[in-house]
Every structure is written in C-alpha cells, then in structure tokens.
Chain A
Amino acid sequence: MMEYKDGIRKIKFTIDSSLENVALVGTAVRKLCSMVSFSETEACDIEVSVVEAVNNAVKHAYMNEKGHEVNIIFTIHTDRLTIDICDTGKTMDKINFPVLKFDPKLLNSIPEKGMGFHIISSIMDQVEYRTIQNKNILSITRFFNTSDQKK
C-alpha cells in the first residue's frame, strides 16, 4: 500500500509472523532504498537492519508463533528514511544496545545471539521504541546524508 501526502511517501508491507517471510521484506526494502538516494552498500546495510528488527518481532514479540501480523512502514521524508516495524506481541522493557565485548581467542566469550541491536544501532542514525495502544513500534531512521547527522 502506498500513500503520498505533503511530500512524504509512505509504503506499508504486512507479513505473517514467520521467519520464512522476512527475506521478502528485506529484498523489498533493499530495492526501495536503492531508489531513494542510498548507495547499493547503504541499501544492503539498511536491509540487514530491517531484517534484524523483523526477526526480533517474530522471535521475541510473537515467540515464533505464526498467525500474527508484522507491519513494516517505509516513510520517505525529504532528508531521511524511517522504517517502522510494528507488532502487537510481547513488549520489550527497553532496547538493549549491547556493546560486543568479547575476546576473539576465548571461545566461551564469543556471542552466538544478541547481536541484532548492535547491528541496527551501528547502521542506523536513530533507533526508537515505543508502545501505543498495545502496538509495539520500533522506528529506525537513516538520513540521506549521514555526514552531519550521525549520532
């Protein structure tokens, strides 16, 4: 679904809460990013961020249970792209942005999980999480010219 209002373009995708659907969103996001001032490299990185966010909704908000909606709203502003990932599952208390501290030579210290938000926060300029009327919304934003806008 696409809307156009006051110079802001908005595209909305809805998928069922299954990991097999996440690649569809990622591929669509990458194509859209390539069309709005992002380089191919940036588009690939933004795809990873969105995939991590949708994975998080499927795995943690819905606990891998199929049959729920995940909405992805892609909003193109004049200076930035914001992608909202929305679910109505379990709410996170807060976002943890883990610093990946580990000793590469110490096997037990190397993380197998918990790297998703590190990746998102490294790639995107702004990351916000809020819950409105039982809907959890993770908003991730990337400015078109990040040189002056980066956190």
Chain B
Amino acid sequence: MQVEDRKEGNVLVVKVLDKRLDAHVANDFINKMSGYISSGNSLFVLNVSEIDFIDSSGLGAIVTVLKRLGGKGDLVICGARDAVMRMFKLTRMNKVFDMFESEKDAINALSK
C-alpha cells in the first residue's frame, strides 16, 4: 500500500495512492497508520480521492485506526468518490467519520 503524507500544523494529511482499499491491503494500511500514531500524530485527514474501490475490510481498517486513537484524536475523510461514498453510507460509516469534499475543508475542520 502506497501513501503520501504531509503535515499541516497539527494535522497529518495522509493520501492513499492505491486504487483499492480492500482485504488484501487492510492490514498494511492499519500498520502504516499505526506508525503515524506511534510517532505522536493524533489528528488525521485521510484523503481517499485516488481510491475507486473499498470493501468492508477497508472500512473496518479505517475504524480500527480511529479506535487506536483511543478518543484522544480524530480522523476525518476527504475526497470520497461516489462508489466509495456509497459504501460509507451503506454501512453508516458516514455517521462515524466527518466527510469533506476538499482536503482544505477537512484540514480547517480539524484545525479549529
């Protein structure tokens, strides 16, 4: 799984570069994100704009990362394409995560 990251103030923006977040890469994703948490990051914008496919394992992996923050941080989503957004809605994960169209709006929401 390929990601790129950059820091915007206290917010770490992580962009997934793969087209799929699925069962095959879910553990790799969790490990990468857990590494960021271990390094002291607690506010995340997850940019999923490159992803065109997500399954329940991918959604579950994002939930796992949120739980690893232990309520001491936050993770918001930006850039979800239609197919990805439908899966968030189908599983009500759009009620769990704040979702933004643009990365800028997502960063601003966490920076308040």
Contact = CB atoms under 8 A, between A and B. Distances in A.
Contacts of B24: 19-20, 22-23
B59 interface: yes
Given A22-B23, A111-B63, A52 B56 contact: yes
A104 interface: yes
A122 interface: yes
Nearest to A118: B91
Nearest to B61: A112
B67 A110 contact: yes
A54 to B, nearest CB: 9
A58 B57 CA distance: 13
B66 to A, nearest CB: 7
Given A22-B24, A111-B60, A111-B63, A102 B90 contact: no
B40 to A, nearest CB: 20
Contact of A104 (B67, B82, B92): B92
B82 A52 contact: no
A119 B90 contact: yes
Interface residues of B, number: 25
Contacts of A102: 92
A71 B66 CA distance: 35
Interface in B65-107: 66-67, 71, 82-83, 86-87, 90-92, 95-96
A104 B94 CA distance: 9
A2 to B, nearest CB: 25
A48 B87 contact: yes
Interface stretch (A6-14, A39-47, A76-84, A133-141): A39-47
A11 to B, nearest CB: 21
Given A22-B22, A104-B96, A119-B87, A41 B82 contact: yes
Contact of B66 (A44, A48, A110): A110
B41 interface: no
Nearest to B63: A112
Nearest to A102: B92
Contact of A23 (B20, B63, B64): B20
10 contacts: A19-B22, A23-B22, A41-B86, A48-B55, A51-B22, A51-B23, A100-B91, A104-B95, A112-B61, A119-B90
Interface of B: 20, 22-24, 53, 55-57, 59-61, 63-64, 66-67, 71, 82-83, 86-87, 90-92, 95-96
